[in-house]
A and B are shown apart, each in its own frame.
Chain A
């Protein structure tokens, strides 16, 4: 009972943490590129990047199964590389969370970078700073606030991911059964006690995460 209660919580935290790290890196990078460059069809690309935020998770799940499933070329390449298909694995859960959390990070990072006054960046360049130095010593610190709130929101979204995860990573206790999946199954099987416990944990953790953002923004 103790083990079956903790296992989804542990898994959720692990999966959300790894997914967040990926999202923060990719989201910041893509946010940086999109904040400063202009090209034809940029609005279309940006819309595509934001789509996972508004699409139903079942659409994302469907997409992941089609793209990474065992019948797709990518799925077969992965199976050939790792001697194992990716669907229904721990990594599948990470990918699902990453995809749905990405728009939040990307949007926050981009807004953050755009709010940095270009004159300050140009001043640094004029003094001979390389682009890398400008980014790490000027742009990033000045948009730090957006990066942090984007990161926390992404973690919270990855942590709460349900639909796409259930479709793409399945429901395997101890491997892919996260808190949201466990709650769904518990209600389905009439195990209201466990459902309450997990719902409670979920609310507490999510509450704390949002608290961090609000405290930060009121400072």
Chain B
């Protein structure tokens, strides 16, 4: 018995060694040529960026893009704590400016790229009959999902709009605070909340939600998506390549397809 287990152990170790040896021989020369860029981007950008990622990698096969999606506040916090990120694509100037002020993003390598709109949504199959932000007060609407105002830009904008409409205090107890815009969307899609506030681009992605109305742009600060290269990056040249790629026609077409507005034109 002891003999068997010893030989089993020996074979297992040998196999592990062989597997790891195979791994190094085939991978390491590739890795030394291929550069990996990490892009932290707002959750609302995920579908558009995944499409652009494929296009970019076809044109630049030596660069591997890793996408890290989350709420801009979370991503900002990760970068502040030293996460190895090369570019930051935020859904808000506020979260972005913190990094500029802390000297983590060079202002010369940053610019606002896109814009979006804020909309109120409800599940497509919902039977409630509400038509405007004011109806959120009604007792038919029991739960409303928005992003966490402190860290999720779409939540910050939602709070601003609800405040300027004088609704914030009245509906505060109905709010379910979500970790990013896609969670708000999911909560509405599954019918677990009666309403949610998301970007128009997110609402367009789903057939399970319908847009009730758009928030008046004057009720919230301007929705802006700035992008910047993180100063710590080891691959400034490659990061710039992607940075400029986002402004080229084919990338812009993708953003427009998903409903984003292009700034600075």
**Measuring CB to CB, which residues of chain A are less than 8 angstroms from any residue of chain B?**
65, 69-71, 84-85, 87-88, 170-175, 185, 187-191
Instruction: Tell me, in angstroms, the Cα distance from A151 to B72 when the chains sit together.
Output: 41
CA distance A65 to B192 in the complex (A): 9
B112 within 8 A of A: no
Q: A191 to B179, alpha carbons, bound, how many Å?
A: 15
In the bound complex, do residue A185 and residue B176 qualify as a contact, i.e. CB atoms below 8 Å apart?
Answer: no
Residue of B nearest to A184 (CB): B179
Quick one: given A84-B142, A171-B178, A172-B175, are A185 and B148 in contact (CB under 8 Å)?
yes
Other than the given A189-B73, A189-B77, 13 more pairs (CB < 8 A) read A65-B190, A65-B192, A70-B192, A71-B191, A84-B142, A85-B143, A87-B192, A170-B176, A170-B178, A171-B148, A185-B151, A189-B150, A189-B151
The residues of B that contact A170 with a CB separation of less than 8 Å are 176-178, 187
**Which chain B residues in 169-194 approach chain A with CB under 8 Å?**
173, 175-179, 187, 190-193
Q: A69-B192, A185-B148, A185-B151 are in contact. Are A190 and B80 (CB under 8 A)?
A: yes
Within 8 A of A (CB), among B68-104: 71, 73-74, 76-77, 80
Number of interface residues of B (CB under 8 A): 22
A to B CB contacts below 8 Å, 10 in the list:
A70-B190, A85-B143, A88-B143, A171-B178, A185-B150, A185-B177, A188-B74, A188-B148, A189-B150, A190-B77
Residues of A within 8 A of B143 (CB): 85, 88
The majority secondary structure among interface residues of chain A is loop
- Alpha-carbon distance A191/B148, docked complex (angstroms): 13
Query: What chain B residues lie within 8 Å of A172 (beta carbons)?
Result: 175-177
A73 to B: closest C-beta gap in Å: 14
Closest 9 CB pairs of A and B: A189-B150, A189-B151, A170-B176, A171-B177, A70-B191, A188-B151, A87-B192, A188-B74, A70-B192
What residues on B are CB-neighbors of A88 within 8 Å? 143, 176, 192-193
Contact B176 A171 (CB under 8 A): yes
Q: Which residue of A lies closest to B191 (CB)?
A: A70
B80 to nearest A CB, angstroms?
7
A69-B190, A87-B192, A88-B192 given as contacts; is B150 within 8 A of A191 (CB)? yes
Contacts of B74 in A (CB 8 A): 188
Set of chain A residues within 8 Å of B179, measured between Cβ atoms: 171, 188
From B71, which residue of chain A is reached at the shortest CB distance?
A: A188
**Bound CA span A187–B148, Å:** 13
A171 contacts which chain B residues (CB < 8 A)?
148, 176-179
The CA-CA distance from A175 to B177 in the complex, in Å, is: 11
Q: In whole angstroms, what is the CA distance A65 to B187 when docked?
A: 11
Q: Complex: how many Å from CA A191 to CA B187? A: 26
Q: Mark B141-178, 1 if CB is under 8 A from A, else 0.
A: 01100001011000000000000000000000101111
Report the Cα distance A218→B132, complex, angstroms.
64
Which chain A residue has the least Cβ–Cβ distance from B77? A190
Cα–Cα, bound, A177→B143 (Å): 15
| B148, closest chain A residue (CB) | A185
CB distance from A111 to the nearest CB of B (A): 31
The residue from B73, B173, B175, B190 contacting A188, defined by CB atoms under 8 A apart: B73
